[in-house]
Structure 1
Amino acid sequence: MSDTVDLGALARALPPESDDGNREYKRLLVGVSDERFEELTTQLKWRCHEGDGEALYELGVSDDGEPVGLTESECAESLETLIRMAKEIDATCSTACERRTKDGKRCVTVLVRENFETTTHKEIRITTLGNVDSGKSTILGVLTRGGLDNGRGLARGGVFRHKHEIESGRTSSISSQIMGFASDGSVINYHNPEVREAHQLRWDQIVSAAAKVIHFSDLCGHEKYLRTTMHGVAGTLPDFALMCVDANRGGIIGMTKEHLSILLGLKVPFFVLVTKVDMASPENLAATLDALTTMLKRPGTHKTPFIVRDELDVITSVKNISGGIITPIFQVSCVSGQGLDLVRKFLNHIPARRMLKPLEGDRALVHLDDSFTVQGIGTVVSGLVVSGKVDTHASMLLGPDGNGEFVPVLIKSVQNKRVAVESVAHGNTASFAIRPKKGHIHKHEVRKGMILCDVSVNPRATWQFQAEVLILAHPTTLKVGYNPILHCVTVRQAARIMSIEGKDVMRMGDRALVTFEWSHRPEYVSVGTRIIFREGRTRGIGVIRFINPDVSPTPFRNYKTQTQNHGCDATTAIHGTTVTAGAA
């Protein structure tokens, strides 16, 4: 693999220490006075705050990034001092990796993680993508439920939601799975990763014992379910994506490139799992890795592939994946267990992305993606909290409906990962039992794309908006009147092109400011939100730059009816139906 970059050298040559972020370099922590210990504890608390409850400490490294190393006695005392510091802020230390300098001294990377309350935890959202039969559901079954696969689909059975999925072995809907990590880095879901336990822990049991929860969204790989996959990627706002590639194929085939273009359009960092390495011949495995490397390095992608082989490579990947510098590649097998320990360590240390920009004043806003009815409770909606905090018994607005109106509702109860909580903060997915202040509301009245928000947000539905659009692929030209399906967070609706600024038509590779109008109902959108659309062989991405909440929808016109009834005063065209005055 000559095309990949040796990032082991990058890990040994660390960049200079930054005042921001959750990474701290310490030459040594020996002979610390009480006054100095208090200063170090305050610094540790700041670093944990920067990392949303996690901090990485590099012991034996100077502030300029040079790995100086520690002797055995210095390393033992430095680790003991760091453990005492962590106890002061109610945190736990665990060794992430260790390496030696040229003269044999030790450099240790330590993960410091705060002990969260039983009702709170750190959540990382990861969505899985890849071609059909690449092993996405199987890898999630092994990671979240323990045990190894038998090579005939044993592990994926617990991930599927429908009977036809079990029979065909193909995912057709969005499935959610969670994986919990304790403060010391151990997996909560199971005791032994190679033994599938008969009694699986419930979600509430995992969450109550976890300091960090990985929320997986298993998406479809088959082409006919691409619309569901696009909605899953855009609607869940994932922190990272897990892309599966079958090592036995000898190349990149099927929907892998299509899924890659979606991730690039939404700017989602991702890592790659090359699966089924136990059954792949050396020639097929080498060909697959070469094809994967070529795809990642091609113009337009500009990713740096990095094959993960040991714990040092895992920590290097953790430090650089958020910035999009590298794309880690793991070689795994769900039958033999090869490489799965490195994947678990990577998931344990993977950082959170501060991708959600809270509203001014930190007002609550939730994008809804599902609704259902619970007997004895009533209508329940679920979605991602993108801003603020939602409390039980809070008064909020639900909408927009088909007329663009928002209905006042009361939050009766809140559940986060199937655990009843008093409130849920931004960055977490949750379910809300709602009750309208007047009348009743049925689950069918709640659709994907609606929002729950604080009354102070004063939301307004809009028919038209302007977006800066880039056409990735189109066989001919795009003109005014083109009507693709747009995906904008949880919104999925056809929108017609009303105007193209500075152009008459758009071709592949063109970028322009385009005015869209929703075809069926107004939606709530905000400036800066990314959109993506695909229609046939047409693919495009964009960013909303301006919204026009005061613009009314274009009046409905039926050109065929107008032509037939031109000059007939006694005839009126109503929604394509000709009604003659005086007719019975």
Structure 2
Amino acid sequence: MQVQRQEHSKLAIIGNVDSGKSTLVGVLTKGILDDGRGGARERVFNYKHEKENGRTSSVAQEIMGFDENLKQVLPERFNQNKNKYWSLVVEKSRKIVTFLDLCGHEKYLKTTIFGLVAMIPDYSLIIVGANMGVSKMTREHLGVSLFLKIPFAIVLTKIDIAPQNVYNETIENIKGLIRSPAIKRTAVVFDEKTGLDEIDKWAALMHGNNVVPMFQVSSVTGIGLQQLARFISRVPNRDEINKAYQTVNDPFQFDIQENFNVPGVGVVVSGIVRSGKAGLNQHALLGPDKGKTFKPVTIKSIHINRVPVESAQVGEFACFALKPSKAGDKLDRADFRKGMILIDPAVKPEPVLEFEANIHVLHHPTTMSHGYQAVMHCGVIRQAVEMKKIFQHEVLRTGDVDTVRLRFLYAAEYLKTEQILVIREGRTKIFGYISKLITDKQLEDEKKVQGIPQQQQQQQQIQQV
């Protein structure tokens, strides 16, 4: 079945643990109210252990469909099977909003950062429990959204159980945080009495990135959900102005986030189209593997929102079934590793081991020097890097801005200049972008240049003897 290409947007749901993120996603996408004991969130979780302890530890995706009048589309009967449920929603919808339900607990922060960096959401909804107030993780998530230039809104949950004094204090703290010199934005507070036209006006202004809408909701009583759903249906797609994407006319590139082995189908990869367009039976290169090589593959089938389609283009989440292009070649899950992509063969991609980056150290407890190692996130790449050179400072401290040279510790990756990167290690957070790629030929030339002084020094020592 081929469906018409729909308008789409992606919302990342972030916030402190136990603030009601997964419950809110379940209530919004399934059209039900929560029972106060987490019944709605069980329809969102991916794994059994998440249901048992009530904490999201992976990136869960759910969709919300809207018809031509931007009224929410809900199937007549709920179906736990996502394939059937999603296809019913997609079939009747003109606009699809994808929710990325991310982790709130600090020990899963790396998964949350991966979701924000690799999945390129249009907006963030920062969830704050009205009975809990602004926590350290709320500030962390807000900071990451700010650096990645993701416009965000605040959603105050659990307003039905929050004591009035705590509730008022939380609102004032959030307003103060948004007015602070680090953010310098205007909070616009909505409640259940706010007119829908007013919400439409502010939703359209989210492109400008200067306002922070603030909603007050209860997933149990339903207060404020109508206003929040209206806002979600009206926020515009940001693909055309998002620098993380190229255009539909550029060479095809697909960032692989997960891979599966589906019985009767074979190897399937899921991810996001970062550049260009892909069609059925299109040839692409899969890689780089640990040996820096790319394998030619063919796209057998394409699914978007669990519905078969004939093409996928820039900005869309998609699943591709792959097969080797060369007769006799095999393709299985052992061929995959983190950070791999599908790319147009005309690009002739060249993976690199070393590169330079302009960085800003947001936080580090002590100092960083030559040889410092930490994990870097850049698109779907998450690999440990080592600091080989610091250009302006002897050591780096919190607040420093500098250019550094980094080297991957395990395998070469395919990078582009201007790509945003996040480096983390414990509470250390460094943001920046790639400024220069160092090719293998340049590395060899540098070794030759370094070798000449060593040879001269050896000759001088021999002459002295």
Q: TM-score by structure 1 length?
A: 0.72
Q: Which residue of 1 aligns with 2:15?
A: 130
2-structure distance, mates of 1:425, 1:383: 12
Say which SS state the counterpart of residue 462 (structure 1) adopts. coil
Distance 1:361 1:230 in 2: 29
Aligned to 2:123: 240
Structure 1 residue aligned with 2:451: none
Other-structure match for 1:221: 104
Larger Rg: 1
1:365 pairs, out of 244, 248, 253, with 253
Q: What TM-score comes out, normalization by structure 2 length?
A: 0.90
- SS of the residue corresponding to residue 499 of structure 1 reads strand
Aligned to 2:416: 526
User: Are 1:370 and 1:447, in contact at CA under 8 Å, matched by a contact in 2?
Assistant: no
Q: Which amino acid in the other structure matches residue 185 of structure 1?
A: L
In structure 2, what residue type is equivalent to 1:372? F
Which residue number in structure 1 is paired with residue 459 of structure 2?
Answer: none
Shift of the alpha carbon at 1:319? 2.3
After superposing on structure 2, the runs of 4+ consecutive aligned residues of structure 1 that deviate more than 2 Å are 197-201, 549-555
Within 2, Cα distance between the matches of 1:248 and 1:358?
A: 42
What percentage of residue pairs aligned between the two structures are identical? 38
Residue 245 of structure 2 contacts residue 315 of structure 2 at CA under 8 Å; is this kept in 1?
no
Counterpart-to-counterpart distance in 2, 1:428 and 1:331 = 30
Rate the CA distance shift 1:256–1:204 in 2: closer, same or farther, 3 A: same
Residues 245 and 314 of structure 2 are in contact (CA less than 8 Å); yes or no, is this contact kept in structure 1? no
Supply the distance in 1 between the matched residues of 2:376 and 2:182 (Cα, whole angstroms). Answer: 22
Offset at 1:189? Answer: 2.3
**What is the correspondence of 1:463-478 to structure 2 with a 5 Å cutoff?**
463-478=353-368
Q: Is 1:401 paired with 2:289?
A: yes
For 1:423, the equivalent position in structure 2 comes to 311
Give the superposition deviation at 1:198: 4.4
Residue-by-residue CA offset, 1:476-496 (whole Å, 9 max, x unaligned): 111111111000011100011
Aligned partners of 2:150, 2:386: CA distance in 1, in Å? 27
Counterpart of 1:413 in structure 2 is 301
Following TM superposition, by how much is the alpha carbon of 1:137 offset from its aligned partner in structure 2, in angstroms? 0.1
Corresponding position of 1:433: 321
Q: Hey, what's the Cα distance between the residues in 1 that align with 2:332 and 2:410?
A: 20
Q: Number of residues paired by the alignment?
A: 433
Displacement of 1:552 in angstroms is: 4.6
Partner of 1:287: 169
Q: Does residue 150 of structure 1 match 2:35?
A: yes
Query: 2:73 aligned with 1:183, yes or no?
Result: no
Task: Quote the offset at 1:539 in angstroms.
Answer: 1.0
The residue correspondences of 1:439-454 to structure 2 (distance < 5 A) are 439-454=329-344
Report Cα offsets for 1:144-184 as digits up to 9, x if no partner.
01110111101101001111111111111111101111111
Distance 2:14 2:215 in 1: 15
Aligned in 2, Cα 1:289/1:190: closer, same or farther, shift over 3 Å? farther
Counterpart position of 2:378: 488
Tell me the CA shift for residue 535 of structure 1: 0.9
Partner residue in 2 for 1:388? 276
- Mapped partners of 1:525, 1:264: distance in 2: 23
| C-alpha distance in 1 between matches for 2:39 and 2:119 | 27
Residue 549 (structure 1) shift: 2.5
DSSP 3-state at the match of 1:486: strand
Consecutive unaligned residues of structure 2, counting only runs of 5 or more, are 448-465
Letter in 1 for 2:109: L
- CA distance in 2 between counterparts of 1:422 and 1:132 reads 40
Tell me, yes or no, if structure 1 residue 347 matches structure 2 residue 232.
Answer: yes
Aligned ranges 1:495-510 → 2 under 5 Å: 495-510=385-400
User: How many Å apart are 1:357 and its aligned residue?
Assistant: 3.6
Partner of 2:207: 322
Contact kept, 8 Å, 1:488 with 1:530, in 2: the verdict is: yes
Q: Is the 8 A contact 1:380 1:443 kept in 2?
A: no
Please give the alpha-carbon distance, in whole angstroms, between the structure 2 residues aligned to 1:495 and 1:293: 38
Counterpart CA distance in 2 for 1:488 and 1:374 is: 28
Q: Secondary structure at the match of 1:348?
A: helix
Amino acid paired to 2:182:
G
Distance in 2, matches of 1:205 and 1:399, equals: 35
Deviations 1:265-293 (CA, angstroms, capped at 9, x unpaired):
21111111100001112211111111111
Counterpart Cα distance in 2 of 1:504 and 1:145 = 55
Separation in 1, partners of 2:364, 2:79: 51
Q: Give the superposed CA RMSD.
A: 1.7
Structure 2 residue 155 is the aligned partner of structure 1 residue 273: yes
Shift of 1:330: 0.2
Unaligned runs of 5+ in 1: 1-116, 192-196, 556-584
Q: Displacement of 1:302 after TM fit?
A: 2.0
CA 1:411 to 1:360, structure 2 compared with 1: closer, same or farther past 3 Å?
closer
* CA deviation after TM superposition for structure 1 residue 398, in Å: 0.6
Residues 152 and 164 of structure 1, relative CA distance in 2, 3 Å threshold: same
1:371·1:447 contact (CA, 8 Å) conserved in 2? no
Q: Deviations over 1:59-112 (max 9, x none)?
A: xxxxxxxxxxxxxxxxxxxxxxxxxxxxxxxxxxxxxxxxxxxxxxxxxxxxxx
